[in-house]
Homo-oligomer: A and B are copies of this chain.
Amino acid sequence: PVFPQPILYSYFRSSCSWRVRIALALKSIDYETIPINLIKDGGQQFSEEFQALNPMKQVPALKIDGITIAQSLAIIEYLEETRPTPRLLPQDPKKRAQVRMISDVITSGIQPLQNLSVLKQVGQENQLTWAQKAIRSGFNALEQVLWSTAGKYCVGDEVSPPPVFLCHRFKVDLTPYPTISRINKTLMALEAFQVSHPCRQPDTPPELRA
């Protein structure tokens, strides 16, 4: 069967959505964006229509080849298996393990603690401290891991699923993390990172565009 162009359900400032947009851009896969605003209307991810599509009630979700996949890393692995070039994972299994370890540290060690619903539970006055603590503790580990794995990028000199996420709004000082900062800067110079950037999405509000 011939499937229509993939559809990405995405929110401009969601880090996990950005991760998938980067992978799609690196692989030059054309897709349509359907914005899901996580704040508007009490959160559009909670609509019945979207829940039917992704019971996790989260973005991103990618409709592709007749199925819908949720969870950014599962999506990226699927793209890698079905559209292998250019590759997003190194060829060497040991390096692949390192890429996955780094990605998992971010998606299961840092990000879950600072998503909207958790921050809401933590309460307005504690949010910043809570999020900063999670980010610092994750970055301390990540910086140390990168000492032994990094080349130009996180693992050697090949671009891999990026450890990018939007921590700017939590005002964490990045000075103690020179390796993370350097790699982030190098990645941000790549076109795939620029076109997929939160400030350049169909649902980016005019005042945040760049």
User: Chain A: residues with CB nearer than 8 A to chain B?
Assistant: 55-58, 65-67, 69-71, 73-75, 77-78, 81-82, 93-94, 96-98, 100-101, 103-105, 107-109, 111-113, 118, 121, 130, 133, 140-142, 144-145
Contact = CB atoms under 8 A, between A and B. Distances in A.
Copies in the complex: 2
A109 to B, nearest CB: 6
B96 A71 contact: no
Main secondary structure of the interface of A (DSSP, over half): helix
A55 B141 contact: yes
B93 A78 contact: yes
Contacts of A105: 56, 70-71
A69 B101 contact: yes
B77 A141 contact: no
Given A55-B144, A141-B55, A67 B97 contact: yes
B113 A118 contact: yes
Nearest to A134: B118
Contact of A130 (B66, B97, B107, B121): B121
B55 A74 contact: no
Contacts of A93: 78, 81-82
A112 B104 contact: no
Contact of A97 (B77, B111, B112): B77
B112 A108 contact: yes
Given A55-B145, A105-B71, A108-B108, A100 B121 contact: no
Q: Which of A70, A96, A111 has the most CB of B within 10 A?
A: A70
A133 B122 CA distance: 13
Contacts of A67: 94, 97-98
B109 A56 contact: yes
Nearest to A107: B108
B112 A109 contact: yes
